[in-house]
Structure 1
Amino acid sequence: MIDLVIEQLISKVIDSGLIQERDRIYCRNQILGLLKLDTFSEVIETETNLTIPQLLGQLIDDAVERQVITGALDEREQLDAHIMNVFLPSPSQLNDQFDQLYLEDPIKATDFFYSLSQTSNYIQTERIAKNIHFQTDTDYGKIDITINLSKPEKDPLQIKREREMKQTSGYPNCVLCKENEGYVGRVGHPARSNHRMIDLDLLGEGWLFQYSPYLYYNEHSIVLSKKHEPMEINRDTFKRLFAFVEQLPHYFIGSNADLPIVGGSILSHDHYQAGRYTFGMTDAKDAYTFDLVDFPEIEASVLNWPMSVIRLRAKTYDQLVEAGDLILTKWRQYSDPDVELIAYTDETPHNTITPIAQYRDNAYQLDLVLRNNRTNQEHPDGIFHPHQDVHHIKKENIGLIEVMGLAVLPPRLKTELAELKDYLLGDSDQIESYHQDWAEQIKLEIQSITEDNVDQVIQAQLASKFVRVLKNSGIFKSNDKGWEAFKRFTSSLNN
């Protein structure tokens, strides 16, 4: 039985184009060694409807049953990555293949690398498929909602191992470091045997390009510095973003902000996120346009979007870098107490920017999302951060992905929304207390909730709640006072 599964896996990988039939015996023997098997019976028929992740799961279950490994999550994932690494070229061979395809067409190169990253099970396609995802139209355009169910829950054995393990190793320094490529993994640090990265030159500096193991959107990728250095948004950031777009013009690229609360989850390692996807913010309309007198060739506007976004467009990107640097420099120092915007508390900075660059409609584009991380007694988690009344949906930082209109919501909502559905239909009175006010509000707003429309109602209400999350996080609110304050800032750019 296990011999059949091994051959089916190898056949699937051959069908994907990752290896050739000539590699079958070599790959089989490598896998037999990893599984501690010393015999093999020839298999003739290898047709199967099972996917690569499903076949891998069978091999790993068998290894647990035979006590080759324990059932702990980290050991399962290490063996999974080990097995798929058997089929992969070395980093240098992969980069050579990518470079050759890039000379033909940059899209061919990324298509090849994306396909390889899926086939190798580095991109967790089977787990990602568990996510709940839908789109809803709002007053600001489309909003994407994802309930994140892809990351596996840690079993009791894994939790016990992590508690007992004294993490003394500083290698790799973090999950983004270049040393993760091919790293076997350890308790508390993910297995990366099947991990590969593409070398990038950005401003003469060494950077790396990889896909995210848990995609939130099409071709969700990470661009990371070869140096383990903290994130920082500055003029060079804008230059690097456009250097990337120039090389891969079919991708957008953006950076999380570089301050706590408004920044990303890993501020200790400079990195950006990229991909091939059109977010709601990408298609947002202009609320108003304005002139930058020092940059007459730039089209400048403020977007009609729940967060505070300046968009700059030009035929070449050199001036966008300079204008972006001007806006960032002004913003770092800018205060407007009338809207609770204060740039510094003593020596502590509060203002920064989330930048996004792309080539779109025959022009280079730079979106600058204005951020501030100040807290006060009323909003201890952040004044421009999801407020208490939306914490039942999301209370985590609003990073680059959310800024652009894709909500990444916690897995608990799968069960809780099912309970909400039953509650709205009158089939149950069981609902989490923190959703109670929301449920009553929905009942008041929507007079007729039926089996036919309840799912659509919940999706629309969830998207509306996420728009509230974004509005909380925006500096200049979408009202007369907010627009006046925003215009004060854009006017100041010409002083």
Structure 2
Amino acid sequence: MENEMVSTGASESRQALHAIEQLVTFAYNHGLIQEADIDYSRNLLLEEFGFDEPFLEAVGDEVPASPQQMLDVLIDYAAAHEMIQENSDTYRDLLDAKIMGLLMARPSEVTAEFMKRKDAQGIQAATDYFYKLCIDSNYIRMDRVAKNEYWKYESVYGDIEITINLSKPEKSPKEIALAKLLPPPVYPKCQLCRENVGYAGRVNHPARQNLRVIPLELNGEKWFFQYSPYVYYNEHSIIFHHDHVPMKLTKDTLKRLLGFVEAYPHYFLGSNADLPIVGGSILTHDHFQGGRHTFPIQKAEVTASFTHKTHPDVSLGIVHWPMSVLRLRAADAESLLECANEVYESWKGYSDAELDIEAWSWIEGEKVRHNTVTPIARRSADGEYEMDLVLRNNRTNEQHPEGIFHPHREMHHIKKENIGLIEVMGLAILPGRLKSELDQIADILSGHSELYEASLMEGHPLAVHRDWISDLMQAEDAGSLTKEEAVEKIQYQVGGIFTTILEQAGVYKHTEEGQRGFHRFLTSMGYTQHS
């Protein structure tokens, strides 16, 4: 028995040493380290795992294309030898980032390489390099991103993109309980702060030793550019302020968006709204989201065009979209900025009682603003500047306590969270719980009668979908579909529900009355429609 344990231990050690050698080779092959760094990097990993000498055989061409396989071997070894507190996703990820951080260039070196490529080959070559670096360093976990469910729904507004987000690891009940006992974090102040670069992390804050950010200047201020580790779309970028300052949507915000797309013309950049209910999940640190993806909103057509005598060189149009969108376009960024800011300032103070749009209300003796916008900037194929202003209002009432222009309660079984920038543009990010729930509903539609009966019981995971399932079961084909047909039907239904959610978030409805109201707003600013 003792000999078997020794043999097992030797085998584990050999596998771990082999993984270290493969990982160092991977890092060199993918440009994370240079030839002069190989011995240094190997020794750092040997020290981390308590080894005195390396794997003495050549690894040859057997190095995987992704670091994950080698990392799993090393983290399994660490778990078996009690080097991590618990063998859970959270603690594995903390060590994962630490390992890859040992195989990366310093932040200043990454920035220097980015700038060198930008100057020599252009900004697109620089972002290509940086994005690949973030994938190769496992900061962007492509193995998890690949697990996300994705499909398209053909709506009257064009294709709508649907994803079920499975890339964020879920915490165990033990970790959740432990996190509640910890004091409120003071460093870093949030997950967007620049101090995250190189941070070791903890049970309630991700490790970021493999995070790198690129400094940039917007409107004369210091900002940083990084990629999201959860890439909801291609080259999903986050642009965040140098300091931990709250979200605030002003003319300067719009100027920063236009300044960014001038410098990064192959990317779009947008901002979440700055008010609760209609804003994003992080309002405490000013930031934008951008990237290299053509969203459905960008493909949507302008259905009514308007002109203004003060801004003859700026075109403005109502976009055929479930939400209420104005598209401004001009060759000159400064002209577009002035026009967009005037629309924004006008909207902030605009009310239309007939349509439940109230710009302000008095709450506990304080005047509270309700109107804002979700702005999105991009460059068109011909180089002109475009800005979409999505009109938002965060007022609540007795009928809709979560928000009048927010997913209504009958939709909460699919999505109840805020409709933020990404959803506004036509990409649904739905909670991970839906993967198993929708799969079970597909079983019901394909004849699993026992599961249907169980779903009607209080406390069952599918009980939240009870009314929807009942509606689905009224169809003639209910119970006789193949599993594949049922999945296709459910995906179509979910796409329709999300489109309805976007319509509910729109302040001007797609009715004759709603569109008249939209035109009233534009007329109030002095715009005239032209054919």
Q: 2:162 aligns with which of 110, 131, 145?
A: 145
Is structure 2 residue 130 aligned with structure 1 residue 113?
Answer: yes
2:271 alignment partner in structure 1 = 255
Instruction: For 1:164-203, list aligned pairs within 5 A.
Output: 164-167=181-184, 169-203=185-219
1:16 alignment partner in structure 2 = 30
Is structure 2 residue 342 aligned with structure 1 residue 329?
Answer: no
Counterparts of 1:4 and 1:52 in 2: how far apart (Å)?
Answer: 13
Instruction: For 1:9-158, list aligned pairs within 5 A.
Output: 9-46=23-60, 47-49=62-64, 51-71=66-86, 73-103=89-119, 104-158=121-175
**Which residue identity does 2:369 align to in structure 1?**
P
**Which residue identity does 1:23 align to in structure 2?**
D
Counterparts of 2:177 and 2:409 in 1: how far apart (Å)?
Answer: 33
Which one is further off, 11-20 or 327-336? 11-20
Counterparts of 2:282 and 2:133 in 1: how far apart (Å)?
Answer: 26
Cα distance, 1:23 vs. partner? Answer: 2.6
1:421 alignment partner in structure 2 = 442
1:450 alignment partner in structure 2 = 481
2:493 alignment partner in structure 1 = 461
Cα distance, 1:414 vs. partner? Answer: 0.7
2:11 alignment partner in structure 1 = none
Structure of greater Rg:
2
1:386 alignment partner in structure 2 = 407
Which one is further off, 372-381 or 425-434? 425-434
Task: Please state whether the residue corresponding to 1:63 is helix, strand or coil.
Answer: helix
Label 1:68 to 1:466 Cα distance change in 2 as closer, same or farther (>3 A).
same
Task: Please state whether the residue corresponding to 2:85 is helix, strand or coil.
Answer: coil
Cα distance, 1:164 vs. partner? Answer: 3.0
Gaps of 5+ in 1: none
Counterparts of 2:347 and 2:95 in 1: how far apart (Å)?
Answer: 49
Task: Please state whether the residue corresponding to 1:227 is helix, strand or coil.
Answer: coil
Task: Please state whether the residue corresponding to 1:110 is helix, strand or coil.
Answer: helix
2:12 alignment partner in structure 1 = none
Gaps of 5+ in 2: 1-14, 456-461
Which one is further off, 146-155 or 198-207? 146-155
TM-score w.r.t. the length of structure 1 is 0.96
2:390 alignment partner in structure 1 = 369
Label 1:240 to 1:11 Cα distance change in 2 as closer, same or farther (>3 A).
same
Label 1:140 to 1:154 Cα distance change in 2 as closer, same or farther (>3 A).
same
Cα distance, 1:453 vs. partner? Answer: 2.8
Which one is further off, 222-231 or 1-10? 1-10
Deviations 1:152-180 (A, max 9, x none): 1112442243133223x411111111111
Deviations 1:184-205 (A, max 9, x none): 1123121111111000011110
**Which residue identity does 2:493 align to in structure 1?**
Q
Task: Please state whether the residue corresponding to 2:494 is helix, strand or coil.
Answer: helix
Cα distance, 1:445 vs. partner? Answer: 5.7
Instruction: For 1:255-404, list aligned pairs within 5 A.
Output: 255-346=271-362, 347-362=367-382, 363-404=384-425
CA contact (8 A) 1:165 1:187 kept: no
Counterparts of 2:253 and 2:476 in 1: how far apart (Å)?
Answer: 46
Counterparts of 1:153 and 1:273 in 2: how far apart (Å)?
Answer: 23
Counterparts of 2:205 and 2:338 in 1: how far apart (Å)?
Answer: 40
Counterparts of 1:446 and 1:254 in 2: how far apart (Å)?
Answer: 44
CA contact (8 A) 1:251 1:274 kept: yes
Q: 2:468 aligns with which of 418, 427, 438?
A: 438
CA contact (8 A) 1:301 1:311 kept: yes
Deviations 1:38-86 (A, max 9, x none): 3333121350447312221221111111112222544422221111111
Counterparts of 1:329 and 1:163 in 2: how far apart (Å)?
Answer: 41
Which one is further off, 251-260 or 9-18? 9-18
Count of residue pairs the alignment pairs up? 494
TM-score w.r.t. the length of structure 2 is 0.90
Task: Please state whether the residue corresponding to 2:82 is helix, strand or coil.
Answer: coil
Deviations 1:5-59 (A, max 9, x none): 1111122222222223443221111111122223333121350447312221221
CA contact (8 A) 1:212 1:221 kept: yes
CA contact (8 A) 2:331 2:385 kept: yes
